[in-house]
Structure 1
């Protein structure tokens, strides 16, 4: 029951949030944003992070996604941003010019890709010399942290252990990512961890409603409707707070230079 990224029903699945300051702060610490003119966001989804890059001062941002339906949502989400454009393409075949971009972001993308070598080679090709490559995703270790008042995602695997194999088999170990980045030609590789605030919920009911819609959480499409109801009940009972819930996810970020 995996999510169909090409369905019109899911075109707004990844448009409903804004990038949190926890993300913008760490990116500003890794990349000289004020000096960048052309950024590329591959696997851009609904354009949330394309917006963030623009707001941080990047002159122009190009978003690439393999789903025209998702891009429709992104264009609508970013319609007020005249410096953001979107194109249909793949991480291993963007159809873009070589040596053009000074920043390339791939957030929450590589777990959808088995052939990382092709993905990284394409990234190397489109970046200009000295350009920065930011890859952000979850390693198997990031995924399986226990659920608590902040790490709501951990409850998914606590209640449905079968999701553990599904989740970890699509995640890449950090050692593999670093090795393949080097083979693609990248250097100055740096690895950092980020507890990114996903959302601050004023009331628990808002979180539960968001979970019910599987919004921005592709792993939840592995559950049927009855299992989703069980999960909502489990999280409702597990969270003792009813207000001001700060939901966070742990990510690994790899920075590399061409």
Structure 2
């Protein structure tokens, strides 16, 4: 029962968190956002569109294929006049040639088939100005399948339900595939960076359980039935109890690919 991004009940699933300082610190190392026109493709609820505005972007355009996601994003970004949203997707953004300086594709490429990656990157190249930067943030299979612990909770998902491993591996692209498709699309200056992004700090195990049970911001949890999800939450709580942990700092392991459009 994969998540339905077009359902009204999921409008705020990817809207109510805030980008952590671990993310903003990494972005500031990779690119200067100040004064730039940034585009957030697959923006969901606008979490990272807001983050770009807070980092000093002159303007931000959030693009998503779901009207419900965009409705949630607009509701959460009232007071940000520099942010606009429009319907579109990674292959057809609806933006003009050479119209932006920076593009983010965060947690997007696992929704795109391998044979379509080059076309989506070519669309990014088209709308970037010469010298502009594309940042892609996603998980490789290796990122996802790291062992579970008090920080990397996702590891417990696959430990308890091994069937999710095949599901996850099928939808995740290797770093080699990403780099090959970026190069085929015409990008230069390719770089690969690894990061741990803090997702959330839970004051106690009940707070953690409540977040997991809502499946908020974790599409893989929509693969589980309600009883399975309850079993998973109980398992994670037991692991935390064994370790004597009450306050939980959850982190996600990510890979970031940086690519540049050659200057004229």
Q: TM-score, normalised by structure 2?
A: 0.96
CA distance in 2, matches of 1:209, 1:16: 15
Cα displacement (A) at 1:244: 2.5
SS in 2 for 1:98: coil
CA offsets 1:104-142 (integer angstroms, 9 cap, x no match): 000000000111011101000010100000000000000
How many residue pairs get matched?
257
Q: Residue 19 of structure 2 contacts residue 48 of structure 2 at CA under 8 Å; is this kept in 1? A: yes
CA distance in 2, matches of 1:32, 1:45: 23
CA distance in 1, matches of 2:14, 2:33: 24
CA distance in 2, matches of 1:32, 1:83: 17
Q: Residue 240 of structure 2 contacts residue 246 of structure 2 at CA under 8 Å; is this kept in 1? A: no
CA offsets 1:157-212 (integer angstroms, 9 cap, x no match): 00000000001100000001001101111000000000000001111211110000
Cα displacement (A) at 1:228: 0.7
SS in 1 for 2:6: coil
**1:104 aligns to what?**
103
1:1-150 superposed matches below 5 A: 1-34=1-34, 36-114=35-113, 115-150=116-151
**2:176 aligns to what?**
175
Cα displacement (A) at 1:97: 0.3
**2:161 aligns to what?**
160
Dislocated runs of 4+, deviation >4 Å: none
Cα displacement (A) at 1:242: 4.3
**1:232 aligns to what?**
233
**Cα RMSD (Å) of the superposition?**
0.8
CA distance in 1, matches of 2:44, 2:195: 20
Structure 1 portions without partners, runs of 5+: none
Q: TM-score, normalised by structure 1?
A: 0.98
**1:256 aligns to what?**
259
CA offsets 1:12-62 (integer angstroms, 9 cap, x no match): 00012100000000100000223x420000000100000000000011000
SS in 1 for 2:95: coil
CA distance in 2, matches of 1:231, 1:80: 38
Please identify, of 36-45 and 235-244, the stretch whose mean Cα deviation from structure 2 is larger. 235-244
